[in-house]
């Protein structure tokens, strides 16, 4: 029995050490720093003050952009991904399915940086706007707008949304749809009453994955938002690397973590309800 | 029930459903081959056969999940080939129940009523659900989750979910396959009682001959997409039309040979070693044809001594005690091994036989059936 315990601990040790060094300790450091002050030449000077938190309003624009664009981006991802996942799981022929699934992840084989450059060109003056202009549809400004950031988000995060939904739909017992039909439900109502509720765990997982990553996103807003549409991630980069105000940066980071915790808690509550109070259903 | 079917022929003897030359092809595979069947109002009918015989296809054509490649499906005299399942006044109990895991027991049962337009009032639905739960003897289980129910309970929920809609046909697709033997027996009796009290036409698909014989008014024996024979369980048992049916319905011994005499009510077959076996032929057989004599194990008796016709010297090979009966496996040097079922009373007279004992197997004149091999 004791040997069993020892073995368990040994197996857990690498992951445990990693968690401790890479997650718990840095979080403690950030938390402690958030009550400190900026040194004369930047960096951190120990102190105990709430000034950093009281000052969070100065970065309100970053919070606002993140809290508006992250949910909208997640929602658009969902709306694009669901029909795609539905087609892949329930309508495509099994012969093509694997190929189609690979096509969904193909963009991941290239760095997001390079792909974002491509979007800079596409959305920039010589890209889509000039094309629209040539067609006499005006010359809209696309790059450096929230729209450009959303395009980048949907493009970059779509596979993360498609896969969990695909798995949920693929696992769906097709006989349930027959049962629904047998009991008098036309196909569209079967979708609403059976397919959709039973794919909710996949939807929730996809939304959580995309949303959490989006809350910390900084590359897409930096490249496609051109400093006009910036996220908390961009504010953090700016605070730690440019203004070197580590204490204030830590306070912003702590605030971000708190927002995330609230969101995840809400998510767990919701998914528990979707799973009908069943605890043994894995949703992540 | 939402339906575009007008009640046309509500007379008692008009069939409630019919298959007319109904065939189903999947590419080169023929799952159902020209099925002709007329289902009586209120009967309990079974499709019996091994897997792949087309019984499930027949059921799915009645439910509307499969459209016949050719031929017609009729419900209450109306052709329904193109009517989708959700517009057919027919409900199914699925093999693995197919209960909705995200809904409670009550919500599962109410599902069919909630699909009706106009939708019944919630109070009305709740009362109907309670009644259905009573009927399947699960009162008070409404708020439970599906996964909290045992296999047998899930089956009752599936049954309640179907009968609440008062379908014209209740289709049961191997509903007992997932239950253990004891539970299956209880459920069979319950289903039969339920069918009689509800008066709904039940159509059962099964590969379990005991189940089909014990529950049904009529059994439809299928093989390779065709109906081989159809009739009451007793008729199928006593007058099987072929060796296949005799083999499928109950246990039987078969002795192959050639037909040597055909007279009124008496056909004679010469089996291996020149043994002549005579009996009735439910289906006419020509002289000289190869055929099989079928003898049920309970029609054969074992004696220590005796003489006369219909007697074979045998050696006892094995004995299985079955309680009320004892089943002996015996061997005749010419005809090979066969089974003999000896009752307690008969054993009281002749005594028990031990493996290795010599004995005489005999049967009454006319007990054997001479059946075509197919």
ipTM of the complex: 0.85
CA dist., res. A118 & res. A103, Å (int): 18
At B352 the pLDDT is 87
Burial (CB count within 10 angstroms: exposed 0-12, middle 13-18, buried 19+), residue A128: middle
Give the per-residue pLDDT at B2: 41
Rg of chain A on CA atoms, in Å: 23
CB contact under 8 A, B102 and A175: no
Q: What is the pLDDT of residue A276?
A: 54
Distance CA B7, CA A168 (A): 42
Report the residue of chain A nearest B3, measured CA to CA. A184
Give the pLDDT mean for B129-142.
Answer: 94
**CB contacts, 8 Å: B112 with chain A:** 183-184
For residues B184 and B161, which has the higher predicted lDDT (pLDDT)?
A: B161
Residue A162 has pLDDT above 50, yes or no: yes
pLDDT confidence band for B10 (50 / 70 / 90): low
- Does residue B7 register a pLDDT over 50? no
**Is B85 in contact with A178 (Cβ distance < 8 A)?**
yes
Average pLDDT in the B300-304 region? Answer: 90
In this predicted structure, the answer to whether residue B1 has a pLDDT above a threshold of 90 is: no
Q: How far is B142 from chain A (nearest CA, A)?
A: 15
pLDDT band at A274 (very low <50, low <70, confident <90, very high): low
Residue B63 has pLDDT above 80, yes or no: yes
**Residues A185, B94: C-beta atoms closer than 8 Å:** no
Query: pLDDT value at position B5?
Result: 46
What average pLDDT does the segment A3-16 reach? 90
Q: How many CB atoms lie within 10 A of CB A30?
A: 17
What sign results for the dihedral spanned by CA atoms B188, B193, B196, B201?
negative
Interface test with A, best of B59, B65, B80, B85 (most A CBs within 10 A): B85
Q: Closest Cα to residue B198, out of B365, B24, B41?
A: B41
What integer best gives the mean pLDDT of chain B? 91
Tell me A245's DSSP state: B
CB interface of A with B, residues 176-195, below 8 Å:
176, 178-187, 189, 193-194
The angle subtended at Cα A61 by Cα A59 and Cα A66, nearest 5°, is 105
User: Which two three-digit tokens encode residue B292?
Assistant: 């099989």
Task: Please check the confidence at residue A284 and state whether its pLDDT lies above 70.
Answer: no
Which residue does chain B place closest to A198, by CA atoms? B102
Q: Is the pLDDT of residue B9 over 60?
A: no
Chain A residue with Cα closest to B167: A183
Residues of chain A contacting residue B64, judged by C-beta atoms under 8 Å apart: 181-182
In whole angstroms, give the CA distance from residue B209 to residue B207.
6
Give the tens place of pLDDT for each residue, B71-124: 999 999 999 999 999 999 999 999 999 999 999 999 999 999 999 999 999 999
pLDDT in tens, B341-369: 999 888 888 888 999 999 999 998 888 99
Residue B66 backbone class (left: φ over 0; alpha: ψ -120 to 50; beta: rest)? beta
Burial (0-12, 13-18, 19+ Cβ within 10 Å), B288 = exposed
The per-residue pLDDT for range A76-133, each reduced to its tens digit, is 999 999 999 999 999 999 899 999 999 998 888 888 888 889 999 999 888 888 888 8
> Is the predicted pLDDT of residue A177 greater than 50, yes or no?
yes
Residue B13 pLDDT exceeds 80: no
CA distance A122 to A131: 10
Residue A69 pLDDT: 93
Residue B8 clears pLDDT 50, i.e. is over it: no
Among B64, B115, B147, select the one facing A183 at the smallest CB separation: B115
Q: What pLDDT is recorded for position B170? A: 97
Residue A197 with chain B: CB contacts under 8 Å: 102
Cβ-Cβ pairs closer than 8 A, A with B, add up to: 64
> Per-domain residue ranges for chain B?
17-238, 243-372
* Percent of chain B topping pLDDT 70: 96
Q: In this predicted model, which residue has the larger pLDDT, B258 or A138?
A: B258
Instruction: State pLDDT tens for residues B150-174.
Output: 999 999 999 999 999 999 999 999 9
What is the per-residue pLDDT across B229-268, written as a single tens digit (0 to 9) for each? 999 999 999 999 999 999 888 889 999 999 998 888 788 8
Which tokens go with B97? Answer: 């129940």
Nearest-Cα residue of chain A relative to residue B110 = A183
Out of B85, B98, B102, the one facing A276 most closely (by C-beta) is: B102
Mean pLDDT of B292-309: 87
Mean pLDDT of B281-290: 86
Provide the shortest C-alpha distance from residue B214 to chain A (in Å).
28
CA distance B285 to B263: 11
Angstroms from B250 CA to nearest CA on chain A: 33
Distance CA B205, CA B94 (A): 10
Residue written as tokens 């897409």? A220
* Whether A175 and B96 lie within 8 Å, measured CB to CB: yes
Q: Is A273 near chain B, with CB under 8 Å?
A: no
pLDDT at A176 over 90: yes
**Minimal-distance CA residue of chain A relative to B64:** A182
Q: Is A278 close to B96, i.e. CB distance below 8 A?
A: no
pLDDT at residue B57, rounded to an integer: 95
Percent of chain B with pLDDT strictly greater than 90: 72
Residue of A171, A179, A196 to mutate when probing chain B, most B C-beta within 10 A? A179
User: pLDDT value at position A280?
Assistant: 42
Which DSSP category does B201 fall into?
Answer: E
pTM to 2 decimal places = 0.84
CB contact under 8 A, B102 and A189: no
| pLDDT tens figures, A240-268 | 998 899 999 999 999 999 988 998 888 78
- The reported pLDDT for the residue numbered A283 is 41
pLDDT digits (tens, 9 = 90+) for B265-279: 788 899 988 888 888
In A, minimum Cα distance to B2 occurs at: A184
**Does residue B4 surpass a pLDDT of 50?**
no
Q: How far is B99 from chain A (nearest CA, A)?
A: 7
Architecture in CATH of A59-274 = Orthogonal Bundle (1.10)
Q: Which residue has the tokens 């040597």?
A: B260
Pairing between β-strand B311-321 and β-strand B325-332 as defined by DSSP bridges? antiparallel
Mean pLDDT, residues A43-52? 89
Distance from CA of A140 to the nearest CA of B (A): 47
Rounded to whole angstroms, the Cα distance separating A234 from A212 reads: 15
| Residue A86 CA from chain centroid, whole number | 21
Residue A32: predicted pLDDT: 93
Strand locations in chain B (E): 17-26, 29-39, 44-48, 70-75, 78-79, 90-93, 169-173, 201-206, 218-223, 226-231, 253-263, 266-271, 276-280, 290-295, 300-303, 311-321, 325-332, 336-343, 358-363, 368-372
Residue A13 pLDDT level (bands cut at 50, 70, 90): very high
CB count, 10 Å around CB of A17?
10
Q: Does domain B17-238 bear CATH number 1.25.40.10?
A: no
Assign domain B243-372 to a CATH class.
mainly beta
Option in B85, B96, B101 nearest A182 (CB)? B85
* Partners of residue A187 in chain B, C-beta under 8 Å: 86
CA angle B243, B246, B251 (to 5 degrees): 125
Among chain B residues, the shortest Cα distance to A183 is held by B112
Q: Are B95 and B175 in contact (CB under 8 A)?
A: yes
Which chain B residues are within 8 Å of A278, Cβ to Cβ? 145, 147
Would you call B102 and A274 a contact, using CB atoms and an 8 Å cutoff?
yes
The whole-angstrom distance between B113's CA and the closest CA on chain A is 8
Interfacial residues of B (vs A; Cβ cutoff 8 Å):
1-2, 63-65, 84-87, 90-92, 94, 96, 98-102, 111-112, 115-116, 145, 147, 161, 165
């Amino acid at each position: 029995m004791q040997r069993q315990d020892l073995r368990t601990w040994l197996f857990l040790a690498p992951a445990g050490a990693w968690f401790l060094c890479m997650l718990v300790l840095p979080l403690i450091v950030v938390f402690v720093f958030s009550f400190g002050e900026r040194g004369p030449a930047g960096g951190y000077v120990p102190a105990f003050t709430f000034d950093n938190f009281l000052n969070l309003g100065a970065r309100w624009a970053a919070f606002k952009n993140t809290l508006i664009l992250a949910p909208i981006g997640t929602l658009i991802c969902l709306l694009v991904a669901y029909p795609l996942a539905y087609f892949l799981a329930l309508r495509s022929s099994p012969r093509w399915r694997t190929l189609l699934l690979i096509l969904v992840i193909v963009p991941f084989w290239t760095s997001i940086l390079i792909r974002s450059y491509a979007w800079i060109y596409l959305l920039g003056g010589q890209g889509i706007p000039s094309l629209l202009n040539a067609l006499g549809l005006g010359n809209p400004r696309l790059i450096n707008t929230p729209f450009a950031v959303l395009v980048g988000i949907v493009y970059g995060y779509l596979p993360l949304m498609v896969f969990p939904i695909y798995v949920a739909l693929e696992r769906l017992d097709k006989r349930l749809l027959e049962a629904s039909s047998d009991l008098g439900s036309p196909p569209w109502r079967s979708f609403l009453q059976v397919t959709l509720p039973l794919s909710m765990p996949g939807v929730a997982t996809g939304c959580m994955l995309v949303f959490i990553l989006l809350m910390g996103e900084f590359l897409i807003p930096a490249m496609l938002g051109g400093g006009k549409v910036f996220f908390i991630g961009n504010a953090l980069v700016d605070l730690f690397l440019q203004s070197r105000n580590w204490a204030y940066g830590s306070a912003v980071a702590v605030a971000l973590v708190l927002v995330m915790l609230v969101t995840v808690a809400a998510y767990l509550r919701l998914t528990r309800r979707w799973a009908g109070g069943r605890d043994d259903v894995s949703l992540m | 029930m939402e339906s575009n079917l007008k009640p046309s022929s509500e007379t008692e003897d008009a069939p409630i459903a019919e298959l007319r030359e109904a065939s189903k092809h999947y590419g080169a595979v023929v799952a159902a081959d020209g099925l002709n069947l007329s289902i009586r109002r209120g009967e309990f009918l079974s499709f019996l056969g091994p897997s792949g015989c087309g019984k499930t296809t027949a059921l799915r054509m009645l439910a509307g999940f499969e459209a016949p490649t050719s031929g017609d499906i009729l419900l209450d005299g109306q052709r329904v080939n193109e009517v989708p399942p959700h517009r057919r006044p027919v409900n199914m109990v699925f093999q693995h129940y197919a209960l909705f895991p995200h809904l409670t027991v009550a919500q599962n049962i109410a599902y069919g009523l909630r699909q009706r337009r106009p939708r019944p009032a919630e109070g009305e639905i709740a009362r109907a659900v309670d009644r259905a739960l009573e009927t399947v003897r699960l009162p008070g289980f409404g708020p439970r989750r599906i996964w909290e129910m045992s296999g047998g309970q899930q089956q009752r929920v599936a049954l309640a979910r179907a009968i609440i809609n008062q379908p014209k046909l209740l289709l049961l697709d191997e509903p007992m396959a997932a239950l253990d033997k004891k539970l299956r027996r209880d459920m069979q009796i319950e289903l039969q009682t339920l069918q009689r009290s509800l008066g709904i036409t039940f159509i059962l698909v099964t590969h379990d001959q005991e189940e089909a014989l014990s529950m049904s008014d009529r059994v439809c024996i299928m093989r390779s997409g065709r109906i081989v024979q159809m009739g009451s369980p007793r008729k199928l048992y006593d007058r099987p039309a072929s060796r296949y049916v005799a083999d499928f319905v109950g246990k039987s011994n078969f002795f192959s040979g050639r037909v040597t005499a055909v007279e009124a009510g008496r056909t004679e077959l010469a089996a291996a070693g020149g043994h002549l076996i005579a009996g009735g032929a439910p289906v006419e057989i020509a002289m000289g044809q190869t055929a099989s004599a079928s003898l049920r194990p309970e029609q054969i008796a074992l004696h220590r001594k005796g003489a006369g016709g219909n007697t074979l010297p045998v050696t006892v090979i094995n004995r299985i005690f079955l309680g009320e009966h004892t089943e002996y496996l015996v061997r005749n040097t010419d005809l090979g091994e066969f089974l003999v079922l000896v009752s307690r009373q008969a054993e009281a007279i002749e005594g028990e036989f031990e493996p290795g004992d010599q004995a005489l197997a005999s049967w009454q004149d006319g007990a054997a059936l001479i059946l075509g091999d197919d």
